[in-house]
Amino acid sequence: MDFDFDLFVIGGGSGGVRAGRLTAAAGYRVGLAEEYRMGGTCVIRGCVPKKLMVYASAFKDAFEDAAGFGWSVGETRFDWAKLIAAKDAEIARLEGIYHANLEKAGTRIFAARARLVDAHTVSLSTGEVFSAKHILIATGGTPFVPAIEGAEHVITSNEIFHLESQPKRILIVGGGYIACEFAGIMNGLGTNVTQFYRGAQILRGFDDEVRGHVAGEMMTRGVNLHVGTDVTSITRVDGGLLVKCTNGALTEVDQILYATGRNPATADLGLDRVGLETGRRGEIPVDQWSQTAIPSIYAVGDVTDRVALTPVAIREGAAFFETVFNANPTMADHEDIPTAVFTQPEIGTVGLSEEAARELEPIEVYRSDFRPMLNILAGRSERMLMKMIISQASRRVLGVHIIGHSAAEMIQMVGIAIKMGATKEDFDRTMALHPSAAEELVTMKEPVRAG
**Angle ∠(143,223,242) on CA atoms, nearest 5:** 65
Phi, psi angles (nearest 5°) of residue 33: -115, 130
Dist. CA 316–CA 299, nearest whole Å? 9
Q: Residue 220: CA atoms inside 13 Å, Cβ hemisphere, count?
A: 12
Q: Is the dihedral of CA 46, 52, 57, 61 positive or negative?
A: positive
- The total of other beta-carbon atoms located within 10 Å of residue 239's CB is 10
Q: Which residues are catalytic?
A: 434
Indicate the SS3 state at residue 169. Answer: strand
Residue 123 identity: S
Sorted by sequence, the CB contacts under 8 Å of residue 216 that are 6+ apart come out as none
Do the Cβ atoms of 286 and 276 come closer than 8 Å?
no
- Alpha carbons within 13 angstroms on the beta-carbon side of residue 80 total 15
Given a contact cutoff of 8 angstroms between Cβ atoms, the answer to whether 207 and 353 are in contact is: yes
Inter-residue long-range contacts of 414-419, CB under 8 Å, 24+ positions, other chains counted: 414/338, 414/348, 414/350, 414/441, 415/336, 415/337, 415/338, 415/350, 418/336, 418/350, 418/351, 419/336
Sign of CA dihedral 236, 242, 246, 248: negative
Task: Say which DSSP state 260 is in.
Answer: S
Specify whether the CB–CB gap between 208 and 260 falls below 8 A: no
Fill in the amino acid letter for 72: S
- Of the chain, the end-to-end C-alpha distance in Å amounts to 62
CA dihedral 43, 39, 160, 407 (to 10 degrees): -20
Residue 234 CA to residue 112 CA, distance in Å, equals: 35
Evaluated on CA atoms 76, 82, 87, 93, the torsion sign reads negative
